[in-house]
Structure 1
Amino acid sequence: MSAQNNHILYPGKTLGIIGNGFIATRLTQDAQRSGFKVGVYGSQASDAAMKQADFETVGALSDRAKLKEFSQECDAVTYVGANVDAQVIEYISQYTWVPQGKETLEVIQDRLLERAFFDQINVNIAPYVTVIGLDDLYQSIDSIGYPAVLKPIQRGLGERSMIINKQSDITKAADFLETGTYVLESYIPHDHEFSLMVAKGQQDTQVFPLMELKLKQEQLIEAAAPAKINEDVLAEIMRIGTAVAQQLTYVGVLEIGFYLTKTGTLYVKGVTPGLTTQGNVFDKVSDVSQYEEHLRAIIGIPLQPIKPLQPSIMMMIQKDQMDDIQTQWLLKDNWRFTFYQQTPDSQSTIAGHVLVAGDELDKLQLQVDNTEVWNKRTRTNNKEE
């Protein structure tokens, strides 16, 4: 860490951003407002972040010539999501300053390294074993139990995981296991899922209010903050958040995910270095956004103390909900709508998000539920299942 201490990026310098979509666009806008020239690196010239930037480089993350060219134009580079390979960061660090570093990516992109890290800081994670072939799987399933989840060691884009609900499912894993080493872990049935976002500066740390998430098939539907939770559980979440931030060689915003079971047992789901979709809820919940705090961290100035302002709920807007959303647009005075600029070839079904702000989370949730916009989708999905 000492090599990164007191490394300041002053206004007028050039910040490079690796990423795309709404998050990269917002960070670009905040950096430009703070006086920086911004370059964006991504694979789609039509992406909104590319259009917002002062300059852009279109290229794949495997294109070393393009990466070198881009890095040499920047005084510092930040990545906005965790899908950048650690080797890419190691490579561009030869040509520019990358405040976040590569170490956290190395830890979270290898599931065994990640689990060793969690063991080191004494946190509760799902029981797991390493499996190489079908024999391993048959021998291990009794100790893990059903249901179990089979995941590749290397985390990344396009990866596949498989749920094993019963013994007859194991034979289906034969082809699955041909691609390398896997982790077999217990599936943790849980009543609640939480997200803690931490900003780690070069000298200081700030923690955002805890969020509760609602997901459907791993797709985010809702984020609400500050989460309503038992004080003892909140204290343990904060302890873990602080321990993670202290142990990781990292500068910037990161997210730690948690599961809470019906019996009150807390499990750590994982760590995500970078900005998140659910982090947009802080545009209303607190007096500083995830983008402002991330920028302060990576350019080397003190983080802003985070003060809660009001409870808020963020609901994701799907394209097929737009007719209903237009009705709410006309009716709601406490709803703030954000619509994402889509590239012509975008496969995303997400149109944007809405922030619902007020005095009490329960009342806000009731307001959301009464519109039936998201209830209809849930009922439809349940029928399909």
Structure 2
Amino acid sequence: MPVIYPGQTIGIIGNDQRAYMLALKAKEMGYRVAAIVTPQMQNTSFARLIDSQIDGEFNDYQTLVQLGEVSQVLTYTNELLDETVLEQLAQHYYLPQGSNVLSVTQDRYLEKVFLSDLNINIPPYATVVDVDDIQDAIDSIGYPCILKPIQKGYGKQYQRFIQQPSDLENIEAALELGTYILESWIPDAQELSVMVVKTEDGECVTLPVIENEFEDHRLKMSLVPARINQDVATEINRLAHLIGEKLDYTGVFGVEFFLTPAMNIYVKRIMPTPHATGDVLTHTLNFSQYEYHLKAICQLAVGPSRLNNAGMTLGIQEAQRSLIQTQMKIKPDWYFNLHNVTTNQQIGSVTATGQAIQPLIDNYEAADLY
């Protein structure tokens, strides 16, 4: 495929913060942006940024065709799109990410099989379809464990944490979605991630390892460089390269890891798009994950990453609005990213940078943000 130069149009399939940030960077680089605008996206920051708006829904093929007709390259930020629709789209329009990766990442079982075939360490698991399977699986992998639908995309209300036999009471009611995965819970694990850039010719570039903290299934904090030793960082980069080599994909993707106190590394999951955990790199790296992604899908030169300073990013919730507004008046060296991506949804982040991590943590704690 030819190189996509600034002045041409990038079609973005998605309506989340990643789509918005990707569109911002594309505009900054001189590209035009086209996107599908659903009714929920009207009058949002994202909608106002778009040069060519296509009305419709993401999984409607004819709507996607309209987007393809006005774009020189297509990209998606929603990892739960219909793979078969995207496969059909890729036959007629340039979609560098492809659709094959979604068959791996949308299904927890297929994702684990993919990783196991690469001899990559993953948490022990079993497939479950009825109550008897749960008990058999627990006999094998033990407590604690977590029950998850095999298909990703369902909310946390469809997951069940099982810590002891009494938690199995009325467990049959939790199996309404069919097949599940029962997975060992990894206690006291440090959560890490790495974003990987894969080019059209198969070159993989890993970005610095990120340390993450989640709260109630939601990303609370990301910091870089991760507080790990060099041996762990080297192994994580090796695993990320191995996964990247085997994925049929072009662009930025992410891999999440568990690191136990005994220094055992488990792969948690693969993320087939830029991801919120990578936003901490925006003000700490030579190029953000979004610029790397655009370079890869447009076939521009992609070079090595360079970490310029330490950084820590906190997610902003609606309840923190007044606190954040106060900090905006007194913190001239913090980076604030506050916007409405979709209606009735306030998403944002704040990033602080410096020479070391601990002073950044101390400053957030002093501001009652962390």
Q: TM-score, normalised by structure 2?
A: 0.93
Question: Which residue is equivalent to 2:323?
Answer: 324
Equivalent residues of 2:4, 2:299 under 8 A apart: yes
Equivalent residues of 1:191, 1:262 under 8 A apart: yes
Can you give the 5+ residue segments of structure 2 that lack an aligned partner in the other structure?
none
SS of 1:84 mapped into structure 2 = coil
Q: CA deviation at 1:342?
A: 4.9
Question: Which residue is equivalent to 1:85?
Answer: 82
Q: 1:8 aligns with which of 3, 12, 18?
A: 3
Question: Which residue is equivalent to 1:55?
Answer: 52
Equivalent residues of 2:15, 2:341 under 8 A apart: no
Distance 1:179 1:316, change over 3 A: closer
Equivalent residues of 2:36, 2:63 under 8 A apart: no
Deviations 1:271-310 (A, max 9, x none): 1011112222112111101111000000112213211111
Equivalent residues of 1:201, 1:302 under 8 A apart: no
* Equivalent residues in 2 for 1:207-286, closer than 5 Å: 207-286=206-285
* Equivalent residues in 2 for 1:337-348, closer than 5 Å: 337-343=336-342, 345-346=343-344, 348=345
Q: 1:370 aligns with which of 363, 366, 370?
A: 366
Check if 1:33 corresponds to 2:28.
yes
Q: CA deviation at 1:242?
A: 0.8
Number of matched residues? 366
Q: Quick one: distance in 2 between partners of 1:16 and 1:272?
A: 20
297-306 or 320-329: bigger deviation = 320-329
Q: CA deviation at 1:316?
A: 1.4
Check if 1:24 corresponds to 2:19.
yes
Q: CA deviation at 1:158?
A: 4.5
Q: 2:143 aligns with which of 121, 141, 146?
A: 146
Q: In the alignment, residue 185 of structure 2 is paired with which amino acid?
A: Y
Q: 1:119 aligns with which of 101, 116, 119?
A: 116
Distance 1:286 1:342, change over 3 A: closer
Equivalent residues of 1:18, 1:42 under 8 A apart: no
Q: Quick one: distance in 1 between partners of 2:221 and 2:178?
A: 35
SS of 2:340 mapped into structure 1 = coil
Q: CA deviation at 1:53?
A: 0.8
Q: Quick one: distance in 2 between partners of 1:282 and 1:90?
A: 31
Equivalent residues of 1:205, 1:303 under 8 A apart: no
143-152 or 173-182: bigger deviation = 173-182
Q: Quick one: distance in 1 between partners of 2:336 and 2:254?
A: 24
Q: In the alignment, residue 369 of structure 1 is paired with which amino acid?
A: E
Question: Which residue is equivalent to 2:353?
Answer: 357
Q: Quick one: distance in 1 between partners of 2:341 and 2:29?
A: 26
Question: Which residue is equivalent to 2:200?
Answer: 202
SS of 2:170 mapped into structure 1 = helix
Q: CA deviation at 1:200?
A: 0.9
Q: CA deviation at 1:177?
A: 1.9
Q: Quick one: distance in 2 between partners of 1:238 and 1:302?
A: 21
Equivalent residues of 1:72, 1:95 under 8 A apart: no
Q: Quick one: distance in 2 between partners of 1:278 and 1:42?
A: 25
Q: Quick one: distance in 1 between partners of 2:25 and 2:326?
A: 31
Equivalent residues of 1:14, 1:39 under 8 A apart: yes
SS of 1:373 mapped into structure 2 = coil
Distance 1:237 1:342, change over 3 A: closer
Equivalent residues of 1:151, 1:182 under 8 A apart: yes
Q: CA deviation at 1:366?
A: 1.4
Q: CA deviation at 1:169?
A: 2.6
Q: CA deviation at 1:351?
A: 4.3
Q: Quick one: distance in 2 between partners of 1:179 and 1:325?
A: 40
Question: Which residue is equivalent to 1:292?
Answer: 291
Question: Which residue is equivalent to 1:381?
Answer: none
Question: Which residue is equivalent to 2:186?
Answer: 188
Q: In the alignment, residue 161 of structure 1 is paired with which amino acid?
A: Q
Q: CA deviation at 1:9?
A: 2.0
Q: CA deviation at 1:192?
A: 1.1
288-297 or 224-233: bigger deviation = 224-233
Q: In the alignment, residue 22 of structure 1 is paired with which amino acid?
A: Q
SS of 1:268 mapped into structure 2 = strand
Q: Quick one: distance in 2 between partners of 1:187 and 1:309?
A: 35
Distance 1:181 1:7, change over 3 A: farther
Can you give the 5+ residue segments of structure 1 that lack an aligned partner in the other structure?
1-5, 375-385
Equivalent residues of 1:224, 1:281 under 8 A apart: yes
Q: CA deviation at 1:31?
A: 1.9
Equivalent residues of 1:200, 1:206 under 8 A apart: yes
Q: Quick one: distance in 2 between partners of 1:193 and 1:7?
A: 39
State the superposition RMSD in angstroms: 1.8
Q: Quick one: distance in 1 between partners of 2:369 and 2:70?
A: 46
SS of 2:323 mapped into structure 1 = helix
Q: 1:108 aligns with which of 91, 97, 105?
A: 105
Question: Which residue is equivalent to 2:161?
Answer: 163
Q: Quick one: distance in 1 between partners of 2:58 and 2:240?
A: 30
